[in-house]
Chains A and B, each alone.
Chain A
Amino acid sequence: MSTNQSRRDFFKTSATAAGGLVLGFGWFSSEAFEPGVLTKAAADTIDFNAYLAIAPSGIITIYSPNPEIGQGIKTAFPIIVAEELDADWSKVKVEQSPLDTKKFERQLTGGSGAIRHSWERLRKAGATARAMLMEAAAKKWSVPVSECSTSKGFVVHSSGKKLSYGELATDAAQITPPTTVKLKDKSNFTLIGTSVKGVDSKAILTGKNLFGIDYKREGMLNAMIQRPPAFGLKLKSFDATEAKKMPGITDVVSFGNKVAIVGKTTWEVMQARKAVKIEWEKEKDLESSADHDRIFKEMLNSTTATVHRKDGDVEAAFKNAYKVIEAEYQCPFLPHSPMEPMNFFAHFKGDSIEMAGPSQTPQNAQNQIAKMFNMAPEKVSIELTRMGGGFGRRLNTDYAVEAAELSSIIKAPVKVTWSREDDTKGGIYRPAVRYRFKASIDKAGNITGYMLHGAGMNAGNATRPDNFPVGAIENTLIQSNDHKSPITTGPWRAPITNFLAYAEQAFLDEVAMAGGKDPIQLRMELLEKAQKSPIGKLTYEPERFREVIKLAAEKAGWGKKKKGVYQGFSVYFSHASYVAQIAEMANVKGKPVLKKVYAAVDCGIVINESSAQNQVYGAIVDGLGHAMYGNLTFKDGAPQQDNFNKYRLIRYNEVPDIEVHFVKNGIDPTGLGEPALPPTGGAIANAIFKTTGKRLYNQPFAEQGATLG
């Protein structure tokens, strides 16, 4: 494979002060830039995108632009560069780049999109450097480049002589970068697809200060912020007389609807916080969970739904049906509960501000902070720390913006840390939602009509209008209503689909049974239909869908009688990846107990086998844990759960056996941070039905008798 690369999309610089080659790559560049001399010390002053550096010692530094949240991107990106560079991985050093909107595009963690977005550019980055090193060696030896090859950090001549990348780095810096570069044949990958340990592992396991909450600066103060205890309340007044007298406290200030307690240490701030007397007053409706139940039902019975997709005539299909199946599914609000609570460091300096912390969208934070202070965005620097999870919570910038605002008020460097209670009660939740499904079947059990009506909160459209089985059915209608709630909501790992997948896959199970079809058979028939004669727009590839289904069925022995084992099936396409899952349950004294989950995954080429396995296991455990236990309820606008004693997360003794298989199809890689989560709830619910004959329409399952471990 040979790809064109514009001259301006890539440039090199001369040797560094210490010698060696520093290569700059316009991995994401679409703008003009000016090449310049780059030294490591001055790296951030050069107007270019991402880069890698090769030192004369042979050490290769690869800079990873995207924020690391546990998805393994800080290891995966460099693997791709190193593969095409033919680097010796043991000589590769990875460093996290700070936010730099001039060098990078899409420097964010979200939508399982980083690898998909950057695959080609990362490969070119490595391949271009490799070509330059080969040319430098050929010149040195006075031989044609065609007689040279590379292997693990060396350029090798056909005669057998070789030079290391470190030895060649300075000369290679003088080579004009090629405009076209040949990428490796995928069958020749030696690093991609192997198991590579996380590049931060050693630092994590020895307790180094990697995370935002660990961030410290000379003279830094610590702060905690009291935000309204219920959604719909605003600050009326506060009295900090006592709190200000307490040891270590330097300030108590109010901004927005918040009161910030600032002091020397976290614990002192926590104590003083209790002594601040605050009065709140009602600003908006104070909603309770019972209100939501009522509002959902009203919306589903209203005639004002927004139609998102319509194929054929679903009403006629229902009228002429042999049988009509109807069901409603509902889930509660969920907080994200990352183990590292929200936090951010800010140091306001008048005409600029320095920020550091865990953010999935640092550029958004930069823009908002710049706007708040009427500064140019480049006056807001953001250092990216490793994130102790996020699950979508850190796609929001509220906690960074408030730290910036606080620093500007107290005119001091400050780190704002959220307590667990703050984090759980602080909002931007996965919103509750209720779905109504209706399907018609003919005598043979074939689906003739399919309707999905979503009742969401702050979701805009609570559906995914093009989801399978849409595209395989002549008559479909996908519509939704939305309620504007004062409870703040936002993306949560696999937004919308984290619950919609369960509802869709459980409903399809119901439809299959009503029509006397095996659940897998029904899906395979629909997919065959979608492939041969798709109805309307098709956003998924039926063939890839069918392959993961086949793989999961084969590995789990679907349809083969296993004594005392009840299987439930689910398959889902999200974030450009396909995942099928089969859950196996046992009936223990009338209770369904989960024993094993099989997963078949098509995310195209797997970059890092160990990390990919870890992601899929984790996503299944996450999907399982929240389907079983996740439940944030409200009374008069106030969240009723605030810490892990009341809000239950899945634990060590509750995970079933998991077996993960990847489809090996050589297709360019897609996402893996989210796609394995959505199918889990459906597989479990369908297995529960097989075990007990009881169909679960609401999450969490544990409150309806399902058990783990």
Chain B
Amino acid sequence: MALFNLKINGKTYKADVDANTPLLWVLRDHLDLVGTKYGCGMAMCGACTVHVNGEATRSCVVPVSNVSNATITTVEGLSETGTHPVQEAWDEVDVPQCGYCQAGQMMTASALLAKNANPSDKEIEEAMVGNICRCGTYHRIHDAVKLAAAKMKK
């Protein structure tokens, strides 16, 4: 066990865990940040996506020791009240069905938009292909990414 000071959503969290513990389980079991979801545990579905230094990262395969000095953002940190343009767009387009994958979808989309304010359809596809939505809300995810991009330009 080792003590980690993690910079998450602008706050510092302490976690006394094994160094190999994936960030996902530190967030969920130790820090009560359960918006980040477990889906596959092998970076195949994207449900666990968070930002590590701004990069969309699958937290289920990242040992906590790798991110001890990083700036981490989870869905709770996009905005607590849902006012991030991506959250607003997801709401306006009424994307979710079951909703389980949507935090990961939004984290992937928001990382993309932070770097590329005007992504092409192909660029959106390349970013979003790693996130599975079992309910099949892909069309709305596409519309929401476009809407979020438009919102961020304003």
Contact = CB atoms under 8 A, between A and B. Distances in A.
* Most B C-beta atoms less than 10 A away, residue of A341, A388, A620: A388
Interface in B55-100: 74-76, 78-82, 87, 90-91, 94, 96-100
B27 to A, nearest CB: 10
Contact of A201 (B35, B96, B141): B96
Contacts of A268: 18
A265 interface: yes
Given A222-B29, A644-B40, A651 B135 contact: no
B25 A265 contact: yes
A89 to B, nearest CB: 14
B97 A70 contact: yes
Interface stretch (A170-178, A205-213, A494-502): A205-213
Contact of B142 (A207, A214, A620, A652): A652
A614 B137 contact: yes
B91 A213 contact: no
B65 to A, nearest CB: 13
Pairs A-B, 3 closest by C-beta atoms: A207-B35, A621-B136, A388-B100
6 contacts: A70-B97, A70-B99, A198-B96, A206-B82, A267-B22, A386-B99
Residue of A386, A417, A643 with most chain B CB atoms under a 10 A cut-off:
A643
B25 A267 contact: yes
Contacts of A339: 37, 39, 45, 47, 98, 100-101, 132-134
Nearest to A614: B97
Nearest to A265: B29
B19 to A, nearest CB: 12
Contacts of B28: 214, 266
Contacts of B35: 206-208
Given A205-B82, A247-B1, A617 B94 contact: no
B87 A216 contact: no
B interface: dominant SS: loop
B94 A201 contact: yes
| A266, A341, A614, A652 — most chain B CB neighbours (10 Å) | A652
A620 B136 contact: yes
Interface string B1-27: 100000000000000011001100100
Contacts of A205: 75, 82, 87, 90-91, 96, 102-103, 106
Contacts of B91: 197, 201-202, 205
A197 B97 CA distance: 11
Interface of A: 69-72, 195, 197-198, 200-202, 204-211, 213-214, 216, 222, 247, 265-268, 337-341, 386-389, 391, 417, 419-420, 610-611, 614-615, 617-622, 625, 643-645, 649-653, 655, 658
A210 B37 CA distance: 11
A206 B75 contact: yes
Nearest to B136: A621
Nearest to A213: B38
Contact of B21 (A267, A417, A625): A267
Given A205-B106, A209-B34, A419-B41, A652 B141 contact: yes
B151 interface: no
Contact of A611 (B25, B75, B94): B94
A205 B99 CA distance: 8
A197 B76 contact: no
Contacts of A650: 136
Nearest to A205: B87
Given A388-B101, A622-B135, A625-B136, 14 more contacts: A197-B91, A200-B99, A201-B90, A201-B99, A205-B103, A206-B87, A207-B35, A266-B25, A267-B25, A391-B134, A618-B97, A618-B137, A645-B42, A651-B132
B99 A265 contact: no
A610 B134 contact: no
Contacts of A202: 82, 91
Contacts of B96: 70, 198, 200-201, 204-205
B109 to A, nearest CB: 11
A72 B97 contact: yes
B76 A207 contact: yes
B100 A211 contact: yes
A652 B131 contact: yes
B95 to A, nearest CB: 8
Given A206-B80, A267-B22, A644-B132, A617 B41 contact: no
Contacts of A652: 125, 128-129, 131, 133, 138, 141-142
A172 B56 CA distance: 54
Interface string B103-131: 10010000000000000000001001101
